[in-house]
Amino acid sequence: MIAASVAVIVIVSTLLFKNQAKLHEEKTRVHGVALARALSSAEYSQLVPETGQSSLMRSLANVQGNENFAYAIVVNLAGAKLHEITSDGSIAPDASMPTEPHSWFGEHNVISPGDGRQIREFFAPVMKNGQLAGFIRAGYYNRQAAVMSNQISNLGLMALPIFLLTTLSYFLIRREIKPLGQLSKKMEQASLSFGVQALTPARNQDLGDFVQRFDQFVQLVQSRVNQLDKESLSSRAGTHLITYKQEKAESALNSIPDAVLVIDDAGIPTFANAKLEPILGVSHEEIIGRQPQEWCKNKEVLAFLLRFRNSPSAKRSVRMEYVSEENPDQRISVAAYPLFSLRDQTTLFGMLIIFRDISKEYFAKQAGAEFVSHVSHELKTPLNTLATYSELLLDHASLTEAERVEAVNVIHDEVERMAGLINNLLNISKMDNGTLQLVRKRVKLHDLIQDAFDSMSNNALGKGVELELKIPPDLGSVRLDKDLFRIAIDNLLSNAIKYSNPGGKVTVSAQNLDHDQMQISVRDRGIGISPEDCEKVFLKYYRVSNSETASRSGHGLGLYLAKQIISLHHGVITVNSEPGKGTEFIITFKAQPVQLEESQD
């Protein structure tokens, strides 16, 4: 502030001083030119007076009263002084005068020989009798650079208001730019929060510093905006990627055949696929984000889910099985797997719970176990019979011819039964491990069904069951594996006779349907099958558990095998039945005329 005040004072003083110097110069010129010209036009005698005469030069110089007047002299053409007047202490220096008439009037600078001060000298010609006789030289001191004492007081008077004004302005400006200081601090804090680069520290509180920092701040904000722009772009790309990955993960979880539930650390579901609803009987909306107690109706499942809640130690792979409360035939297996963070395999963030309807597997397993004991029994019984009858035959002396024939027939029947069972088992095993090869041949469907029908007639007769065949003679030829297809039809036919009551009737029919479809039906009026069992009779080893079935021998393999064989021929087998009224099995498959098929096989 003081520096500013001094600067203002110095500038003002310099201007004043320069102005004064200019005024002085002009005044000196006016006086010098006037004195030289006035004396030049005076009589020679007046310029160089006789002794005792008054000097015109002195009179005129006194009239002017110029405080800087140094001298006035008259010199002849050789430069010798003819008359001179000087101010106190002044000595007129020598000077050469012009010779050309156009330069007779003029001025120049000379140096005072006494004190070395600069003198502005004005000269003019002195004429005598019309001839140039010499020159008038009037000298005036140039103004001293020093400041006059009266000027000092003026300066003092001037400096005071300047100083006061500067101080006032300083405080006013400070007050005005104070908010800028706060703004500057805020900019500093904001720039620090950018984490890129801080503003340079404030040097002082002036406007220039603030403008510089503001400029810096604008650049920082600009670069921060660019950076945020890039980050926003990459985060948008990241979000798209996450959404894409999430959609992929969800579609994968939705497409798996099991019901999937994901619960978070607090045991609250965050994902459930559509397959969960039929198993738990609650919709997706009722599950997500809600405590299991609010939606889980099954007590066992609820207890299973709650064990993972806020209990890290419980978060390990566990499984359980339960029977549906609504449907006792439905068995569900529940398996829970801990979900670990991909980055840190020790951080658990929830559990993946998979619900699987294992009813079919369960019943198949159960039936399998029953089958083993059943097959053992089925094989052991004929073996006992074989042993008994073979012993009888050994003792042939005591047997009549008729008894021997009967024994041999019994042994033959039992061997046939065992061979049939073993054959079925072998075919199933080949089918299960994929080694069964179809050998398609051209077959007249009519003949194939007729053969099967004929082979069962004795069997039907023995059971008191009537057999009926309804097939059109022009059924046509098809390409199929005759032996396998025959096993399927034999199984249906033998079942129809087996599960009929004496006096019953079995009808075998076949027909061509639209769209090249062919249909074979085996219908009986026997014991029938309940709707629930209709769904299960094609399962391996499954036998309906009722006394009617139990009283008939069987292995639970016939329908399973028939279904597999028809599937291999790209056909389907369905069942319609009513308990006590009878059953109809229908095979539908593509006719595939021989001519078209030839090239394909």
Cα separations (Å) of 386 from 401, 417, 459, 551?
Answer: 18, 12, 21, 22
Instruction: Say if residues 493 and 504 touch (Cβ distance below 8 Å).
Output: no
* Closer of 72 and 566 to ligand ADP (Cβ): 566
Which amino acid type is present at position 275? K
Instruction: Say if residues 188 and 214 touch (Cβ distance below 8 Å).
Output: no
296 is an interface residue for ligand ADP by CB under 6 A: no
- The distance of closest approach from Cβ of residue 538 to ligand ADP in the complex, given in angstroms and rounded to an integer, is 8
Torsion sign over Cα 267, 273, 277, 283: positive
328 vs 323: CA distance, rounded Å: 6
- Among 56, 559, 565, 573, the residue binding ligand ADP under the rule CB under 6 A is 559
Choices 159-167, 254-262, 285-293, 555-563; region in contact with ligand ADP by CB under 6 A: 555-563
* Closer of 361 and 378 to ligand ADP (Cβ): 378
- Among 35, 57, 75, 529, the residue binding ligand ADP under the rule CB under 6 A is 529
* Closer of 356 and 536 to ligand ADP (Cβ): 536
Instruction: Say if residues 466 and 505 touch (Cβ distance below 8 Å).
Output: yes
92 is an interface residue for ligand ADP by CB under 6 A: no
Residue 446's CB is within 10 A of a number of other CB atoms, namely 17
Helix (H/G/I), strand (E/B), else coil: 17: helix
Residue 401: partners with Cβ closer than 8 Å, 6 or more residues away: none
Choices 5-13, 212-220, 326-334, 542-550; region in contact with ligand ADP by CB under 6 A: 542-550
- Torsion, Cα of 321, 324, 330, 336 (10° steps): -30
- Token pair of 309 as six digits: 């809640």
- Among 557, 565, 587, 591, the residue binding ligand ADP under the rule CB under 6 A is 557
Residue 518: partners with Cβ closer than 8 Å, 6 or more residues away: 445, 475, 478, 510, 511, 512, 588, 589, 590, 591
Residues 386-415 that bind ligand ADP (CB under 6 A): none
- Among 543, 587, 591, 592, the residue binding ligand ADP under the rule CB under 6 A is 543
Choices 145-153, 264-272, 282-290, 540-548; region in contact with ligand ADP by CB under 6 A: 540-548
Choices 98-106, 228-236, 399-407, 493-501; region in contact with ligand ADP by CB under 6 A: 493-501
- Among 32, 125, 504, 554, the residue binding ligand ADP under the rule CB under 6 A is 554
Residue 420: partners with Cβ closer than 8 Å, 6 or more residues away: none
- Among 253, 276, 544, 565, the residue binding ligand ADP under the rule CB under 6 A is 544
- Among 495, 521, 564, 592, the residue binding ligand ADP under the rule CB under 6 A is 495
* Closer of 269 and 556 to ligand ADP (Cβ): 556
Count of residues that interact with ligand ADP, criterion CB under 6 A:
22
504 is an interface residue for ligand ADP by CB under 6 A: no
61 is an interface residue for ligand ADP by CB under 6 A: no
408 vs 36: CA distance, rounded Å: 182
- Among 61, 527, 566, 587, the residue binding ligand ADP under the rule CB under 6 A is 527
321 vs 430: CA distance, rounded Å: 32
279 vs 273: CA distance, rounded Å: 11
* Closer of 300 and 370 to ligand ADP (Cβ): 370
Beta strands 466-470; 505-512: pairing state: parallel
124 has which bridge partners? 136
* Closer of 189 and 376 to ligand ADP (Cβ): 376
- Among 556, 563, 566, 569, the residue binding ligand ADP under the rule CB under 6 A is 556
- Token pair of 135 as six digits: 């020159």
* Closer of 292 and 558 to ligand ADP (Cβ): 558
Residues 560-599 that bind ligand ADP (CB under 6 A): 560, 583
Residue labelled with tokens 């595939």: 592
496 is an interface residue for ligand ADP by CB under 6 A: yes
- Among 261, 480, 537, 573, the residue binding ligand ADP under the rule CB under 6 A is 537
371 is an interface residue for ligand ADP by CB under 6 A: no
555 is an interface residue for ligand ADP by CB under 6 A: yes
305 vs 361: CA distance, rounded Å: 24
- Token pair of 569 as six digits: 């021929």
User: Which residue, among 81, 136, 125, 68, has the nearest Cα to 101 in the 3D structure?
Assistant: 125
* Closer of 292 and 528 to ligand ADP (Cβ): 528
213 vs 177: CA distance, rounded Å: 14
- Among 71, 526, 566, 569, the residue binding ligand ADP under the rule CB under 6 A is 526
Which residues here bind ligand ADP, judged by CB under 6 A? 491, 495-496, 499, 524, 526-529, 537, 542-544, 549, 554-560, 583
